[in-house]
Amino acid sequence: MVQTILAIYLFILVGSFLLERWLDLKNLRHSVPELPEELQGIYDENEYRRSQLYKKENTRFSFISSSFSLLLMTGAILLGVFGMLDRFLTGHLDSYYLVVLLFFGILGFVSDLLSTPFEAWDTFKIEERYGFNKTTSRTFVTDKLKGWLVMVIIGGGILLLLTWLYQATGRWFWLLAWGAITLFSLVMNLFYSNLIVPLFNKQTPLEDGPLRDAIEAFAKKAGYHLKNIYVIDGSKRSSKANAYFTGLGPKKRIVLYDTLITDLDTEEIVAVLAHEIGHYKKKHTLWGLLTGIVQTGIMLYLFSLFVAVPELSQALGADGASFHIGLIAFTILYSPLSMLLGIAGNMFSRRNEYQADAYAAENYRSEPLVSGLKKLNKNSLGNLTPHPLYVFFHYSHPPLLQRIRALNKPLTAENRPSAANKR
């Protein structure tokens, strides 16, 4: 039985590795004989070649780093590292809480240290070579330290709470844990911009000037509070530009990267902002939060069933059923389902992107959004021709071509997102 379970773990780990690499390869080799009309003129010949090289280098990098992780994980399983660490800690510590904290603390810290050279390679070699990197080594190191601090406080806190609930309630543990995690994610959603983001970035309300005037005019028309629009110093780390909508109720905010403001002209920025307001008007953050809560419930329920099976922990080298080793076993067994949920989540997200684009086209204009998206794609050397299967698995946003086509479609009664037609 234990041997069979061990084989299942290895099968899942190797299988998902092979699937991912196969998708990568398909995507890398995918090209079209001639670019569709909508995509012509985005890159000149040299830029197009660079975008292909960038894609190739990223694929090679993910092959190397994921091979390393696979080797590490299968090695740890086959050598019984999890069981050994558990016996060592239990032998030296009286408190079970301390055992659990140190167990995950040590594993997390070691695996983070081992992955740091890969992160550094990505930032200072690949991103640097293509002119994207703005991260100094000082920022890189302080980011790491702050990341660990956040992980110790938040990750450690949640872990302690889960362990305590499991010890105290056993069978009904999942229901109480679900409630606690839901409460926590609601609080995080409200205070993320105030508590976590300032550790890493500076956010300032949008400055006065012609851009603010243009945005003000649009925000007023759309019924959106301008005091919720912030500019973030993304240029501290990368030249790539972005914008996002976050938070709920009074804590909602639209965040524009400073790089977006340098790259796009005023009309294009207003169009991007209109897209973000579209996410707000269509309640996409709320739906995202709700589906996340449902998924957490399913996951915790399944975990409560699995953790009671001693063989699942024994296959990882434990002596019997164990909460913390069971958690690792569950992470492996849950990963195929998590992949499926990820695909569903991406489908949902791509649909939301079309809706937000349609909102911007309807309430502002589609032309500046199209030209803004083209510029953003060009400045990040984006892949113009991703493989459809790769898109299906991994893209949270529709590919550029599909977005442009949807935006260029004349508005009809069917695809019109709201009654008011301001075009």
277 near 224, Cβ under 8 Å? Answer: yes
When the beta carbons of 129 and 351 are compared against Zn ion, the nearer one is 351
What's the token pair of residue 351? 């649909």
SS3 111: helix
Q: Which of residues 345-404 bind Zn ion (CB under 5 A)?
A: 353, 356
Least spacing, CB of residue 26 vs Zn ion, in Å: 26
The 8-class DSSP code of residue 223 comes to T
Number of residues that bind Zn ion (CB under 5 A): 2
Longest dimension (CA), the chain: 72
Residue 395 beta carbon to Zn ion: minimum distance, rounded to whole angstroms: 12
The smaller minimum CB distance to Zn ion, of residues 356 and 400, is found at 356
- Spacing of C-alpha 383 from chain mean position: 19
Element (H, E) at 204: strand 203-205
Q: How far apart are CA 44 and CA 343, in angstroms?
A: 34
Comparing CB distances to Zn ion, the nearer of 144 and 394 is 394
Count CB-CB contacts under 10 A for residue 382: 19
For residue 231, give the nearest of 250, 215, 218, 249 by alpha carbon: 215
* The one-letter amino acid at 43: Y
Coarse DSSP helix, strand, coil percentages of the chain, rounded to the nearest 5 percent: 75, 5, 20
- Which residues touch 141 (CB under 8 Å, ≥6 apart)? none
Length of the chain: 423
Catalytic residue among 127, 263, 357, 362: 357
DSSP 231: E
Active-site annotation holds for 44: no
Task: Let me know if 47 is a catalytic residue.
Answer: no
Task: For Zn ion, give the closer residue by CB, 144 or 405.
Answer: 405
Tell me the closest approach of the beta carbon of residue 279 to Zn ion, in angstroms: 6
Decide: 317 and 329 in contact? Cβ < 8 Å. Answer: no
> 294: exposed, middle or buried (C-beta count within 10 Å: 0-12, 13-18, 19+)?
exposed
The two beta strands, 253-257 and 229-232, are parallel
| Angle, in degrees to the nearest 10, between helices 137-150 and 96-121 | 160
**Which one of 276, 353, 367, 414 is the catalytic residue?**
276
- For Zn ion, which is the closer residue by CB, 275 or 387? 275
60: left (phi over 0), alpha (psi -120 to 50) or beta: alpha
Which residues are at the interface with Zn ion (CB under 5 A)?
Answer: 353, 356
Residues acting as catalytic residues? 276, 357
